[in-house]
Each structure stands twice: as structure tokens, then as C-alpha cells.
Amino acid sequence: AAREAAAHDRELTNHHFKEGEHPIVRIEHLNKTFTDTPVLRDVNLDVWNGEIVVVLGPSGSGKSTMLRCINLLETPTAGHILIDDEEITGSKKTDVVKLRRNLGMVFQQFNLFPHLTALENVMIGQTKVLKKGKEEARAEALKQLDRVGLADRADFKPPQLSGGQQQRVAIARAVAMHPQILLFDEPTSALDPELVRGVLNVMRDLALNSGMTMIVVTHEMGFARDVADRVVFMEDGVVVEQGRPGDVFDHPQHERTREFLGSIS
Ligand code: ADP
Ligand code: MG
């Protein structure tokens, strides 16, 4: 059920709370075990409407698994996840198509259809899932491709685009569905270094101007520091530490956080 932000929550984030605001994503005592191996161990996390949360942590710490539980690409072993006050983990069967309409996901490997143009890639979810007409979907797709700086690449297919351009198409595709929440799983990790900045600029624009809630797994510390309202550090399936970027980066409270930040900067 809904509850207001406690004073404690407000200390952890630069998010500007509205009167009576309650979390749009609630993760409570989330556990995920793969054949006897616990991968998530009692993860608790509330994310506020419009908040930008960056999730940090070493490889294998459970970051992707947590994102995949949020859109039910993985089934949690135990615990509860509520999206906009609706439990998706309960005994009541969740409408996964409806859930994923509200949860855009951007993957490390883009996952575009290689035989469709950029425009068609951004249209297809709108026509198939949202049942929009072709012209309306096309107009929205062109608008979103323009937003990510690819208006002139609308008729190109993924193999004709750079990795950075493909990732920007994937972001346009997610945004064209107008979800409340966008999940990013290491969106720049597969890119050549010179292509990273263009993708981060698009994400920064969305973070500052779209009002969408974003949960971003990334190793881009500059992005986390500048753009995140809150950073969450995970290790070994648990949330070790979280807080405002300035607090976590400049004054990490836990030895493991210090070691991790030292190892990547
Ligand atoms: P991260 O994204 O932080 O690198 P993951 O969530 O991908 O971590 O993985 C956490 C742990 O769970 C790893 O040890 C990984 O090997 C394991 N894991 C992830 N997916 C599966 C799966 N489908 N089956 C078995 N083990 C998995
Ligand atoms: Mg991962």
C-alpha cells in the first residue's frame, strides 16, 4: 500500500518530492535463487515517480537480475514488487504485456530487429502493442528519432548504423511507448568509447526533461554523479549502500563501496 516519503528517504536522494508522494516502484524483501545459488538476497528499494536512480556494483552482483525481476523477465523466488501500487508478484496473475507497456527496457545489446529500418523498429511496438494506426505511429517514431538525433537515419537498418546510433534507436523505441518507467541495463557497455557520449547525452536529456522514472545500471561514474538523484551500490546480491551521488562518491560509508569506487576510477 502507499505510504508517504519518510524523512529518512528524503535524505537519500536529490529527488524533489511532491506532497503525499509514494513510490512508483517498491521492491520488498526480493530474493532470487538460480538452482540453489542465491543471486538477490533481501533487496529492498523504493523508487519515486520521476526519480533517476543509478545502480552500481561489480559484475555478478545481481544488477541485471534485479532489473529483470522488475519487468518479470525473471520470476522472483520470494518477496514483493509493486509497480504504481499494483503488486506484480502476488498470487493474482499479472498482465505482463500491460506491465511491460509501462516499463521500457534498454539492453546492452540493443535488441533491434535487424531487417527493419530504424523507423520501423520504433513503430512496431506502437502498432502491435498499443494498436496505434500507422500514420500516428510513424509521426511519433519520427519525433523520437529526432529527439535522439537520428531524424536523418530513419530509413537505415541496424547493420548500417553504428553501435551508438543503434542504441539511440533502441532508446527512441522505448520512449515512443511512453512508459512511466525506463530501465537501462549497461546501455553503453558494448560501445566503442567514442560512441558512449552520444548515448549518455540522450539519456541525460530524458532524465532532465522527460519526467520519466529511470533506473540505470551503468559503470559511467560521470553520468551517475551529474544526472542521478540517487546511487545504489550492490554487491553479492544485496544493496550495500545508497544515497545522493555526492554523498556516496565523496563519503562512502562502507569499505566495499570504497574499494569498488577505487577500482573503477
Ligand atoms: P550483474 O548484472 O550485476 O553482473 P547478474 O544479475 O547478471 O549480475 O548475475 C548475478 C549472478 O546470477 C551471477 O553469478 C550470474 O552468473 C547468475 N545468473 C544470472 N542469470 C542466471 C541464470 N539464468 N541462471 C543461473 N545463474 C544466473
Ligand atoms: Mg548485468
The ipTM assigned to this model is: 0.98
Q: What's the average model confidence in pLDDT over 195-201? A: 97
pLDDT of residue 238 exceeding 70, the answer is yes
Q: Is 209 in the pocket of ligand 1 (CB under 6 A)?
A: no
Residue 1's pLDDT is 46
Q: How confident is the model at residue 8 (pLDDT cuts 50, 70, 90)?
A: confident
User: Does the global pTM surpass 0.90?
Assistant: yes
CA 62 / ligand 1 centre spacing (Å): 6
From 97-106, 120-129, 169-178, 206-215, the region with the lowest mean pLDDT: 97-106
Q: Is 67 in the pocket of ligand 1 (CB under 6 A)?
A: no
Closest ligand to the CA of 69 = 1
The three three-digit cell numbers of residue 151, written as one number = 531524424
Cell 537505415, residue?
A: 156
Whether the Cβ atoms of residue 34 and residue 51 lie closer than 8 Å to each other: no
Per-residue model confidence as pLDDT tens digits over 134-175: 999 999 999 999 999 999 999 999 999 999 999 999 999 999
For ligand 1, atom 21, which residue shows the shortest CA distance?
34
Residue in 228, 219, 262, 263 with CA at minimum distance from that of residue 247: 228
Residues lining ion ligand 2 (Cβ < 5 A) are: 64
Give percent of the chain with pLDDT exceeding 90. Answer: 88
For ligand 1, atom 11, which residue shows the shortest CA distance?
60
Per-residue model confidence as pLDDT tens digits over 120-137: 999 999 999 999 999 999
d(C-alpha 94, C-alpha 105), whole Å: 18
pLDDT of residue 3 exceeding 70, the answer is no
The three three-digit cell numbers of residue 97, written as one number = 504485456
Q: What are the φ and ψ backbone dihedral angles of 29, each rounded to 5 degrees? A: 50, 45
Cell 560501445, residue?
A: 191
For ligand 1, atom 15, which residue shows the shortest CA distance?
60
For ligand 1, atom 26, which residue shows the shortest CA distance?
34
CA 16 / ligand 1 centre spacing (Å): 33
Give the CA diameter of the chain.
Answer: 55
Q: What's the average model confidence in pLDDT over 232-238? A: 98
